[in-house]
Structure 1
């Protein structure tokens, strides 16, 4: 009974309606990136677009890497009647979701074979809106819960995020295979609804700015001009506060490189599968069904590991697993086109990704000062996505030049700098938290 009671107590926070709502937010946040990175790759590849052009579409993810540039506006700028009625967070979310639904419907009527430029324009628009939606959702989910619940929030968010990945991936591929890509893509806006319903259910966060020595000191230096003071508070202070912390640059470099190898490998997964002539139905089964199950196991285990073995060990273990599973694609490329082999490789890769994603999201949430939630989390998550854009854009040219085996070995080696930086953080015992308390006090 003791062990059962302990398990039940560990699951109790997931019954909190705010944590449940975070699942819906994760669904709304998850599928647009799946569309931009994964489904676009399949759509383009199965319409005979070259690997080089498929790789260049990774540039659309630049919006995820630079979203901190406009996050201060989303954090503080009102939208007239919309934010007056719904509040700052909910108003922006509803506005962005309406625009994203319109863009998805517009791109669904295009044909990549002869309208590649138009497809690229709408892909960029969807990526920009998706990145903007992430700014709002990340701030909202952090603000509705205290520090002690950020681990539960991260796990619930990732569960929702990956559920939407699964539904979008399986649904779009199966419908595209049987009916066509247009109808498949036009149904994607339905996945925005769980996030919409979540914020309408939970309401606007009753968030209050934290009082600390930094803010007290900066209040004395505030300009007399109201505009200048607001600009300084929204744009300058979030970055200034973070740069005051010990070893802040080392922490940022680690976040930048942690998932570099995994991100680059994901860009070329679709072209590899197309080259091996797997059917879309086979991909839907192996890449989305088996992968979804193993990923969810990884997400759940990531939350448990974070609490049981600590931040450093959980990050290190997940980082090594993400690095090694890239070699599975090299093994896949030299064998027969057999569905079981695809399922094994995708299953291992998704397990490692689920593990690593949960741990890094909880870690980044713990770094945010309550005064600058949206801007600081946007900065951190932008850095986490930076490697995917910078190293992912030329990945198609690299794959064409060296071959699949060499490419995935290259992707594996890209994970090493992140692990080295993590080792330095471990040796220096740098948690990088906004407060002086130990990270282990953040429950999961």
Structure 2
């Protein structure tokens, strides 16, 4: 969104509760429901469903867990998001438009990747080829996410973003259920169970999942291209190819460095030292990738002005629009979800330590909890329609912070099914609400000229610090116990409320006064 668009969003008059609820009747909400479903299918076909398939096939656990690296594309999608903004898809862009062309391309690649994986029996065929299929699935599904986020932001102004994000999240969760629980049910139905592996069952399951992606393809073909005001930057086809070449060579540099450092760096059981070594591992690999890209630009492989406009200008635009306030905004983006994300990292272990069975956890968290997140998202959409975006952010922040106190009570009480369901319900409702209003907030900060890259950066940043801190959750529990751990996750959320207040006062309301 442009600055003026953001100001207008901050000046939106309050709506009645009836008007807020009626916003869900907008057909654009239905579009995001189906696109969300398409986005929710691939992720679990890389994680839980694939892990169970490989374990049933007798693959070693250490090899199984390595396949999760195929999803690294989700964490680094901001690197190639600029290419989505500037490079057209041959033939398709002219026929469908920029967003729909990339969306259809990504979905076709997802289907291809799933079919490649389905065609490999891990018992007697190349795991390397299956790994290539998994990497392609991770890359293409992350690309689909980039395009859907850009499409959503360009589809409607800020006042509708919570509605669109709520329906997108509902579709996404439904897609995850289909690809997770649905895939496991199908594999068992076709005859593959623990101790009696049957390749045909998993092959048929993955082929069905590829067919389910047809819902996303049909949606892409039926919807309209949104309005995008970004001017055409790259004029010649050679410029496109050169940009892709720079990106590809930088990725190769990253992969080779990541593999090389992985063999050099020693393994350790010390949590802090292990985290430090992995940080060096990642930052070193990224540094090489950046150095390769910079060197190629200096050598003239791609025009400097093209590289600048593609990768640098979207970042500079954010700082030009907000000046010193940009750092305050980035701080809020990086910390807003810290309370519930850090607590969520160890939640399943917590339930098990409290004496709940796996079936208790599956029913309460994976089914009932998912429904509560969806409901929370819809409620968040209504709240954001009723109040200003920063008021809704404050409500979401307070709820996400204080609901952790329910887990303090559960930690002190121990095994208690009704209390567990109460805690799960309240926590997931708050998480869904906070997530919906936060997405609308991030969308308001995005300049529509650089939709894909700026939102990709924001969405990556919002989970980076919480996930890093979440890695220490086990150590904190070992030293303090669960009750004090959840007290800690409540307390670290309190300063975030002050950050919300500062951003509202220093950024949003000042924009209002300037108008």
Q: What TM-score range do you get, normalising by the shorter chain? A: 0.7 to 0.9
Q: 1:288 to 1:11 in 2, by over 3 A?
A: same
Note if contact 2:78-2:453 (Cα within 8 Å) is conserved in structure 1.
yes
Note if contact 2:230-2:448 (Cα within 8 Å) is conserved in structure 1.
yes
Equivalent residue for 1:153, pick from 126, 151, 164: 164
Q: For residues 399 and 417 of structure 1, what CA distance do their matches in structure 2 show?
A: 22
* 1:343 matched residue in structure 2: 421
* 1:71 matched residue in structure 2: 81
The answer to whether residue 313 in structure 2 is matched with residue 231 in structure 1 is: no
Q: For residues 462 and 483 of structure 2, what CA distance do their matches in structure 1 show?
A: 26
The answer to whether residue 369 in structure 2 is matched with residue 291 in structure 1 is: yes
Matches within 5 A, 1:188-207: 188-189=209-210, 192-207=213-228
* 2:447 matched residue in structure 1: 369
Q: 1:387 to 1:77 in 2, by over 3 A?
A: same
TM-score (norm 2): 0.66
Q: 1:159 to 1:27 in 2, by over 3 A?
A: same
1:182-225 Cα offsets, whole Å, 9 max, x none, are 749735545544432222111333433389xxxxxxxxxxxxx9
Q: For residues 165 and 507 of structure 2, what CA distance do their matches in structure 1 show?
A: 21
Superposition deviation, residue 257 in structure 1 = 0.5
* 2:152 matched residue in structure 1: 141
Q: Which runs of 5+ in 2 are unaligned?
A: 1-14, 195-200, 233-300
* 1:219 matched residue in structure 2: none
Note if contact 1:82-1:91 (Cα within 8 Å) is conserved in structure 2.
yes
Q: For residues 189 and 432 of structure 1, what CA distance do their matches in structure 2 show?
A: 48
Q: For residues 178 and 509 of structure 2, what CA distance do their matches in structure 1 show?
A: 36
Deviating more after overlay: 350-359 vs 322-331: 322-331
Note if contact 1:55-1:394 (Cα within 8 Å) is conserved in structure 2.
no
Equivalent residue for 2:507, pick from 430, 437, 441: 430
Superposition deviation, residue 141 in structure 1 = 1.6
Matches within 5 A, 1:16-95: 16-32=26-42, 63-95=73-105
Superposition deviation, residue 98 in structure 1 = 3.4
Matches within 5 A, 1:42-441: 63-104=73-114, 126-168=137-179, 170-171=181-182, 180=193, 183=202, 186=206, 188-189=209-210, 192-209=213-230, 227-244=303-320, 245-246=322-323, 247-275=325-353, 278-333=356-411, 335=413, 337=415, 339-395=417-473, 404-426=482-504, 428-431=505-508, 436=511
Superposition deviation, residue 400 in structure 1 = 5.8
Q: Which runs of 5+ in 1 are unaligned?
A: 212-224
* 1:15 matched residue in structure 2: 25
Pick the structure with greater CA Rg.
Answer: 2
1:112-143 Cα offsets, whole Å, 9 max, x none, are xxx99999987766544433221110111222
* 2:268 matched residue in structure 1: none
Deviating more after overlay: 16-25 vs 142-151: 142-151
Q: 1:148 to 1:270 in 2, by over 3 A?
A: closer
1:400-436 Cα offsets, whole Å, 9 max, x none, are 666544544444444344333223223x342299xx5
User: What is the CA RMSD across the aligned residues, in angstroms?
Assistant: 4.6
Note if contact 2:335-2:466 (Cα within 8 Å) is conserved in structure 1.
no
Q: For residues 205 and 490 of structure 2, what CA distance do their matches in structure 1 show?
A: 32
Q: For residues 379 and 319 of structure 1, what CA distance do their matches in structure 2 show?
A: 21
Q: For residues 227 and 474 of structure 2, what CA distance do their matches in structure 1 show?
A: 46
Note if contact 1:251-1:432 (Cα within 8 Å) is conserved in structure 2.
no
Q: For residues 334 and 77 of structure 2, what CA distance do their matches in structure 1 show?
A: 15
Note if contact 2:70-2:135 (Cα within 8 Å) is conserved in structure 1.
yes
Number of residue pairs aligned between Structure 1 and Structure 2: 418
